Amino acid sequence: MKTVFIIGVGLIGGSFALDIKKLHPESTIYGIDNNEAHLEEAIALKVIDKTAQFEDLKHADLVILAIPVDAAINVLPKVLDKVSDNAIVFDVGSTKEDICAKVKNHPKRRNYLAVHPIAGTEYSGPKAALLGLYNNKTNIICEVEETAFKLQEKALKLFSDLGMRIRYMNPKAHDKHIAYVSHLSHISAFMLGKTVIDKEKNERDIFDMAGSGFESTVRLAKSSPAMWTPIFKQNKTNVIETLEEYISNLNHFKKMMQDDDFEAVYNEMESTNYIKDILNGIK
């Protein structure tokens, strides 16, 4: 894997670049990004080696598409148009049904692998890139049977070398499940942050009174709206369904408190404590 192109040199793409460079020091990492400042920063931080243009993709061994999902769905076909038959292309988007449908009949569909690494932070840009970000993280792969076997092997070897766990799903199931475990979490964080900002007009009060619980819960509200708005749009149906269930649970909790039924409140929280066993099992 000597010639690697990263389209979108932020947190996710940049972290792949750092890990690949460590695994394969002989490789050359090229960056493509609409944001010239990001490219300059990525060069300065040694996240990438050189900048490139789409015309250069014909030389690629590997192309990683790490841009917002609304852009990725339009850029992926153009990438596949440019690459050679021996190149593997994968995107890292948080929604999979629409992008898989977009290239279903593309002549080079066999060159594309739909993946979603469950990894990241609330930060963005090249400076957010982290060496080792993907170690011990789950990587969901969709429609693996649509990718040429030898190209699958190339990508799967990379993921294994990065220490990732592999999980296979169809795109529809992926988008439904990820709405619960990821997309809802971000909406909750954004709306918690909004509620506090709306009610606590004094910023110093927020700073002084915010404990570790609030900080950890609202952490995701620092995430990029430019990335998350397209995700919510593409996964709108599933996100609305999860929101309806979440709002129903909030209303139920509110009703228990209005009824002074704090035994029920206790029982509700105690039964939900089971989530720690599930998460400990994942770790």
Q: Give me the percent of the chain exceeding a pLDDT of 90.
A: 80
For the segment 253-268, the average pLDDT, to the nearest whole number, is 96
pLDDT of 76 strictly over 70:
yes
For 110-156, give the DSSP string: GGEEEEEE----S--SGGG--TTTTTT-EEEEE-GGGS-HHHHHHHH
Detail the DSSP E strand segments found in 118-264: 138-142, 165-169
Here the CATH number for the domain that contains residue 100 is 3.40.50.720
Domain boundary among 142, 170, 198: 170
Domain boundary among 154, 170, 186: 170
- The band of 207, judged by pLDDT with boundaries at 50, 70 and 90, is low
Here the CATH number for the domain that contains residue 263 is 1.10.3660.10
pLDDT of 54 strictly over 90:
yes
pLDDT of residue 24: 96
Domain boundary among 170, 198, 224: 170
**Which domain, by its residues, includes 266?**
174-282
Beta bridge partner(s), residue 168:
141
pTM of the predicted model as reported, rounded to 2 decimal places: 0.85
Looking at the 3D structure of the chain, how many domains does it have?
2
Instruction: Indicate the Cα dihedral angle 15, 51, 102, 139, nearest 10°.
Output: -10
pLDDT of 281 strictly over 70:
no
pLDDT of residue 1: 74
Whether residue 163 is found in the same domain as residue 272:
no
Whether residue 164 is found in the same domain as residue 182:
no
pLDDT digits (tens, 9 = 90+) for 118-140: 998 888 899 999 999 999 999 99
Whether residue 142 is found in the same domain as residue 8:
yes
